[in-house]
Amino acid sequence: MSTVADTRLLPGKTVRARILSEVSAYVNQVGRIGKLVSISIGNVPEVAVYVRNQARAASAVGVPFDQQLWDRSISQEVCQSLIREMNDDPDVLGIILQRPVPDHINVRALQAAIHPLKDVEGMNPASIGNIVYNDVAMAPCTAAAAVELIRETGLTMAGLEVVMVGHSEIVGKPVAMMLMAEGATVTVCHHMTRSVAMHSRRADVVVVAVGKAHLIGPDMIKPGAVVIDIGINHVPGPDGPVVVGDVQTDAVKEVAGWITPVPGGVGLVTVAILLRNAIRAHQQQRAAGWIR
Ligand SMILES: NC(=O)C1=CN([C@@H]2O[C@H](COP(=O)(O)OP(=O)(O)OC[C@H]3O[C@@H](n4cnc5c(N)ncnc54)[C@H](OP(=O)(O)O)[C@@H]3O)[C@@H](O)[C@H]2O)C=CC1
Ligand SMILES: Nc1nc(=O)c2c([nH]1)NC[C@@H]1CN(c3ccc(C(=O)N[C@@H](CCC(=O)O)C(=O)O)cc3)C=[N+]21
């Protein structure tokens, strides 16, 4: 592996550090700030990694973090009433509902129960709807992280040809909307797209959020393009399972101009964006007269 190729890695660490230092300065300036509540329903190992990193980052910037793990047999009604109590609790700054939730829970109804001013992930239908109006202040964290990493390349967003592979409500769709708001030309591919390669080969930027290891190879990328790999997949490695993205990173790195590594890329920035959203929630609550 040459050092020249490594400079093509877009470092999540740098972007994360920049965002967290802004958050930290804000928290220091306001002094006292409410807590960020993370709700996990049932134990999911992938979520546990995310929550651990959230707790670490929150502690580093001085945001109190309350990690709640609800029993997987909890009822929809109880979840909703617990969320309503948090909406009314002045000590709660924001609420994030970790996905996935057990099958008997209606995730959309729970997301709708989170008050928009405490919805730090922007997944309440009212918040996510604002993205259509180009109001992206409280966007889903992973989508915002992908946009932030594209910005890090210094490329001009206006007119950029972007291919988004995957169209989930939490990643693919918001990424597409946010990039359209920046003036990019966005093509969205999904499992029924006849040839993802036909689209991705013409793109200046390819963003991938599918959840299939090795899906994107070097033959699918235009030389010099930006590749943002959001996927998280556990695959067998020589010393046990390892985490890889959806992109064949080593091979694609030889073709791409920039690529985000997994781990060390989008995930790190996602956590920082959550905290940035938390301080935005604080600003909005202040503007609404909820807090002084
Ligand atoms: N780093 C981070 O912060 C985060 C990472 N992730 C990771 O990102 C990945 C995607 O997550 P998420 O969006 O929630 O997943 P979903 O499973 O909700 O969505 C996957 C998307 O990929 C599409 N898809 C499936 N197969 C193909 C294919 N062969 N070609 C093109 N598109 C395809 C699906 O299309 P269709 O619906 O039409 O089947 C769907 O839109 C996962 O690996 C997840 O772990 C997720 C959230 C945060
Ligand atoms: N409502 C909801 N929103 C999410 O955004 C959401 C979710 N639920 N459920 C789980 C997935 C997964 N996810 C991750 C975010 C960051 C890292 C992360 O910090 N990754 C680091 C460290 C990895 C490690 O420590 O092993 C990295 O990629 O370098 C991982 C995973 C967000 N998700």
Peptide bond before residue 100 is cis, with ω within 30 degrees of 0: yes
Q: What is the pLDDT of residue 5?
A: 45
Q: What is the pLDDT of residue 46?
A: 86
40 lines ligand 2 (CB under 6 A): no
264 lines ligand 2 (CB under 6 A): yes
Q: What is the pLDDT of residue 228?
A: 98
Q: What is the pLDDT of residue 10?
A: 94
Binding annotation: 166-168, 232
46 lines ligand 2 (CB under 6 A): yes
268 lines ligand 2 (CB under 6 A): yes
Binding annotation for NADP(+): 166-168, 232
Three-state SS across 7-67? Answer: CCECCHHHHHHHHHHHHHHHHHHHCCCCEEEEEEECCCHHHHHHHHHHHHHHHHHCCCEEE
Question: What is the distance in A from the centroid of ligand 1 to the CA of 89?
Answer: 34
Average pLDDT along the chain, 292 residues, taken 10 residues at a time: 62 97 98 97 93 98 98 98 98 98 97 98 94 93 98 97 98 98 98 98 98 98 98 95 97 97 98 98 97 87
Nearest bound ligand to the CA of residue 110: 2
Asked if the interface predicted TM-score (ipTM) of this complex is over 0.90, the answer is yes
- Least Cα distance to 263 among 237, 244, 240 occurs for 244
Distance between CA atoms of residues 258 and 281, nearest Å: 32
Q: Which of 99, 121, 190 to mutate to test the pocket of ligand 1 (most atoms within 8 A of CB)?
A: 190
142 lines ligand 2 (CB under 6 A): yes
Question: What predicted TM-score, i.e. pTM, was given to this entire model?
Answer: 0.97
User: Is residue 104 a contact partner of residue 79, using CB atoms and an 8 Å limit?
Assistant: no
Q: What is the pLDDT of residue 8?
A: 87
Q: What is the pLDDT of residue 75?
A: 98
Q: Which residues line ligand 1 (CB under 6 A)?
A: 142, 165-168, 170-172, 189-193, 196, 209-211, 230-233, 266-267, 270
Question: What is the distance in A from the centroid of ligand 2 to the CA of 49?
Answer: 6
C-alpha separations of 163 from 70, 181, 278 in Å: 38, 15, 29
Cα angle at 99 between 96 and 101, to 5 degrees? Answer: 110
Q: What are phi and psi of 272, to 5 degrees?
A: -65, -40
47 lines ligand 2 (CB under 6 A): yes
187 lines ligand 2 (CB under 6 A): no
Q: Which atom of ligand 2 is found nearest the CA of 47?
A: 10
Q: Which of 53, 229, 230, 262 to mutate to test the pocket of ligand 2 (most atoms within 8 A of CB)?
A: 53
Q: Which of 232, 235, 270 to mutate to test the pocket of ligand 1 (most atoms within 8 A of CB)?
A: 232
Domains, the chain: 30-116 (3.40.50.10860), 139-268 (3.40.50.720)
Residue 240 CB partners (closer than 8 Å, separation 6+): none
